[in-house]
Amino acid sequence: MERIARVSLSLPLRALALAAALVVGLVAAAPAAAGLVPHRAIYSVKLGSVRANAGFVDVRGAAKIALEKTCDGWIMTQELSMDMGTAAGGTVKQDIRSAGWESLDGKSYRFAVRNTMGRQVEGFKGEAKLGAAGKPGRATFKVPPGKTMALPEGTLFPAGHTAWLIERALAGDRQAPRIVFDGTDGQGARKVIAFIGRRMESGGHGKKGLGALVQRPGWNIRMAFYPLDSRAAAPEYEIEVLQLDNGVVPRVVVDYPQLTVVMTMEKIEIIPPPRC
């Protein structure tokens, strides 16, 4: 049960962070494109499917994200609250709050997260910088204090990874591997292999009644996450997103070894850009 609880603390947050980062990366990477705007959105969070020997048998909750542009970067805040039903008949409450900032050039990144699950509290805070060409970068944690880790050459932060990933989708690639660091679980960079589906035309996806922002073409993108030193064939977990070409993500599915959690957009609104 302890391992299941720890996984549940970190992975929904990572899924939400990546979904939000997809928007940030798109806007930052293609400022001249029409329709790419910062926004805030509300998601319902529900259990998708349960496999054998799952410790949790029900998941219900809500998530909120806000993506705001500043004159030198992007601010991303997230809130996630869930009630998780256990196989023993109990309920575990989980609350996650996080904030991140990434520079417009994608070279600097700051992050902070606080996870509360029952009486357990876990938090991470720090900053990271990419190295010069041919050199590794470094992440430095303030919480826990004194923790540092090298970032391999070519590592991308979430927004930079998304910008690169969307470029690959537009180019028609079907598989796109890269090393990514987000800091939300206190671990190092991971290898992320993205599998990009065929382009879907607008309409017929997402929840009805959300407005013009979701009436756009896009792709289903499935991402598999591996530790850098892993030689295992199976990933730690996978995330599938419905990514529209204007940066909006109407749906996220987090695929654990024992269950899936589905996040569905319920409301969305535009955040006006700053005057710089």
- For the chain, the DSSP string reads -HHHHHHHHHHHHHHHHHHHHHHHHHHHH-TTSTT---EEEEEEEEEEEE-TT-SEEEEEEEEEEEEEE-SSEEEEEEEEEEEEEETTS-EEEEEEEEEEEEETTSSEEEEEEEEEETTEEEEEEEEEEPPSTTS-EEEEEEETTT-EEEE-TT-B-HHHHHHHHHHHHHTT-SEEEEEE---TTS---EEEEEEE---B-SSSSS-TTS-GGG-S-EEEEEEEEEETT---SS-SEEEEEEEETTS---EEEEE-SSEEEEEEEEEEEE-PPP--
Q: Are 194 and 176 contacting, i.e. CB atoms less than 8 angstroms apart?
A: yes
Query: pLDDT per residue over 16-62, tens digit each?
Result: 444 444 444 443 443 333 345 688 999 999 999 888 777 788 889 99
Backbone angles phi, psi at 146, to 5 degrees: 85, 0
- For 203-215, the DSSP string reads SSSS-TTS-GGG-
d(CA 67, CA 70): 10
Q: Are 42 and 61 contacting, i.e. CB atoms less than 8 angstroms apart?
A: no
Q: Are 173 and 196 contacting, i.e. CB atoms less than 8 angstroms apart?
A: yes
Q: Per-residue pLDDT for 8 more than 70?
A: no
What pTM did the predictor assign? 0.82
Distance of CA 148 to the CA centre of its chain: 22
Query: pLDDT per residue over 82-104, tens digit each?
Result: 998 888 888 989 898 989 899 98
Q: How far, CA to CA in Å, does 53 sit from each of 26, 43, 56, 91, 239?
A: 39, 28, 9, 17, 21
Report the largest interatomic distance among the alpha carbons of the chain, rounded to a whole angstrom. Answer: 55
d(CA 198, CA 200): 6
Q: What pLDDT sits at residue 188?
A: 86
Q: Are 190 and 170 contacting, i.e. CB atoms less than 8 angstroms apart?
A: no
| Residue percentage of the chain with pLDDT more than 90 | 32
User: Residue 27: how many CA atoms within 13 Å on its side-chain side?
Assistant: 27
Q: Are 113 and 144 contacting, i.e. CB atoms less than 8 angstroms apart?
A: no
Q: Are 22 and 219 contacting, i.e. CB atoms less than 8 angstroms apart?
A: no
DSSP-assigned beta bridge partners for residue 56: 86
- Give the domain ranges of the chain: 2-270
Query: pLDDT per residue over 226-244, tens digit each?
Result: 998 888 888 888 999 988 8
Tell me which residue has tokens 């607008």.
202
The pLDDT-based confidence of 173 (bands split at 50, 70, 90) is very high
Q: What pLDDT sits at residue 204?
A: 63
The per-residue b/e assignment along 210-220, b for 16 or more CB within 10 angstroms, e otherwise, is beebbebebbb
Q: Per-residue pLDDT for 150 more than 90?
A: yes
More confident residue, 229 or 7: 229
Compute the average pLDDT of residues 200-207. Answer: 73
